[in-house]
Chains A and B, each alone.
Chain A
Amino acid sequence: MNIRKQIKRKECGNHRAEEELRFKNALLSTQQETALDGILVVDENGGIISSNQRFADMWDIPSETMKSKSDERTLQAVMDRLANPENFLCKVKHLYEFRDETSRDELVLKDGKTFDRYSAPMFGANGKYYGRVWYFRDITESKTAMDKIKSSEQSLRELSETKSQFVANASHELRTPLAIIRQFIYLLDSGIAGPLVNKQKDCTSAALRNCDRLAELINRMLDLARIEAGKVNIDPSRVEPSLLLIQSYTDFLPKMETKKQRLILETPNNLPAVCCDPQTIASVLIELLGNAHKFTPEGGKIILGCRQEGQFLSVYVEDNGPGIPLKDQERIFEAFAQVDRQEGPGAKGTGLGLTIIREIVKLNGGSLSVSSTPGNGSRFSFTLPLFTTEKLLIQRVLVADNDKKSIHLIMQGLKRSGLQLDIKTASTGLQALVIAGTFHPHLVILDANLPDSMTPGVFKSLGRETLEKRGKVLMISTDQRILRSLVRQGVHDYLVKPFSVEQLLVKVAHLLGNEPNVKVNQADPARME
């Protein structure tokens, strides 16, 4: 091969490489320019490598500043627009120090706009650090929309409270005149005000009946308003299902007799105990049995029973009355729903009973439903959670340690704790702080020897963030002296490395307010370094 040809080939290769490079550049700059985010790329010293037009537009940076590529002037232009430039600078400095971190936060501008800021380091294939990319996105609109939703939620809550308060006051004010009316009708009805003829007596007894009906309606409205305002106290305890049912059963037997109805009690043996407030549940049973009695014709059959369904007890009241049409089955739970139901003779209902007991069942942790085939009776049933000794509450734990082996051992230990835990991990103090901001841990296990955890700001903020939410902080370190001094600064407890899984579990259980369910075993081989 002659030299000329060789040169020609080399030129050809160069040409191809150049072409490829040009293509990649075009691709990159197109990507950068078509992006919705403002993008800024800086080198390891913070010098500007490139930026897109969107970045300049968002931050209102004059084109001569952009052309100058001066990082100082660009930074100044950005700072000028921020509501809190110090925080911004603090974060930038931090990220230059801790090169491999990514970060995401929100920036508030002087003019009220909100930008989402995302930053990631730029590493080459060989692991060489080239600098950092910053993305900025204007989220003002979605932020404003979210604020609007929040404020309308707030005013809805206030409106609902006003309504409940109004009903409470109104029902109070209605009682006094009603009491007076009832008293005078009574004076007539009883003959105290003079003798009555039979027709007059019919009138007064109808008036008395309806005074009582109105009083009952006022009571129910007040009950519902109190439930809606969250003012009803549920006092749950461990209750035997048969005891829960038998009282209502015996109370209703004589009443059922008046319509020659058969009341049957179905409680299987060996049912597990439930967790509920027996007083409020008794009122639910009274309502359901009362309805069954009212709507079932003479000589009908009514069954009161219960059975286990998974983690719940299902309690049911079944009748062989006329049933409820499908279209009305959900509506009967609405307040004052107008439903065609034959009540038969006697006082009409208030139209609030089912609405109230559905709420009461909900407050007890269950749900109330109906199934019915018209012509074939109705079955109302509600669930109640079974009683368990375990704490079903899930507790959140944040583990901040930069040693993977150590994190692994802590995780293994926590999994053996028997507690229901939601665990998150962080490898730096700052990362832990960011996670704690949204995770609200019940417990933070923090290594005192993290590269930045002892940076006073991070430690203080993490501590405050956790303590504000009544969380606990458990510090771990190889240095007992540091740990002791930290306890004086508000840390709840500490463990000196190396420690055993059992030692950790005793501390964790104690800090989370549970009795440890593992015994301390000194000979445990798994020790943490």
Chain B
Amino acid sequence: MSAGKKILLIEDEPDFRFGVRMQLEANGYAVIEAEDGVAGLDAAREQSPDLIILDGRLPKMGGYEVARQLKGNQKYRAIPIVMLTARSQQSDKQTSQDAGADAYLTKPFDSDELVLTISKLLPR
């Protein structure tokens, strides 16, 4: 198990946060949550997570903008980001990559794939 690995989940849907948290904790990760872009950016800066799961569409500051800011900063650039998008378009991949995300999943996604993606980005 990956004890101590901390994942920041930035997502505005409480139910979704709850569901993903349950799955991640079952897989041995510690989870911290933020419900909008601004709070997410603060949490990323202050709580030094090992990985960030970031929804593309968020209140106050969009997910892509959060990614751009973190990836544009030397201090936080190394934190892997998994983008969650609600559109299945080729442009999702491009937009996610442009924003600097390390991986992206389109909602609804296969939950096993989420854990697989995380474990690839967080070698144990």
Contacts and interface: CB of A to CB of B under 8 A. Distances in A.
Interface residues of B, number: 17
A192 B23 contact: yes
A186 B107 contact: no
A219 B107 CA distance: 11
B13 A183 contact: no
Nearest to B109: A179
Interface in B1-36: 13, 15-16, 19-20, 22-23, 26
Given A176-B13, A178-B107, A178-B108, A183 B86 contact: no
A341 interface: no
Given A175-B108, A178-B108, A190-B111, A183 B19 contact: yes
Interface string A150-175: 00000000000000000000011001
Interface in A159-209: 171-172, 175-176, 178-184, 186-187, 190, 192-193
Contacts, number: 55
A226 B90 CA distance: 12
A211 interface: yes
Given A172-B86, A172-B87, A222-B88, A180 B13 contact: yes
B104 to A, nearest CB: 14
B95 to A, nearest CB: 14
A175 B87 CA distance: 8
Given A178-B108, A180-B13, A182-B111, A219 B23 contact: no
20 contacts: A172-B87, A175-B86, A176-B13, A176-B16, A176-B107, A179-B107, A179-B108, A179-B109, A180-B15, A181-B108, A182-B108, A182-B111, A183-B111, A184-B19, A187-B23, A187-B111, A190-B26, A193-B22, A211-B108, A222-B89
Interface of B: 13, 15-16, 19-20, 22-23, 26, 86-89, 106-109, 111
Interface of A: 171-172, 175-176, 178-184, 186-187, 190, 192-193, 211-212, 215, 219, 222, 226
Given A176-B107, A180-B13, A183-B19, 4 more contacts: A176-B13, A180-B19, A187-B23, A222-B87
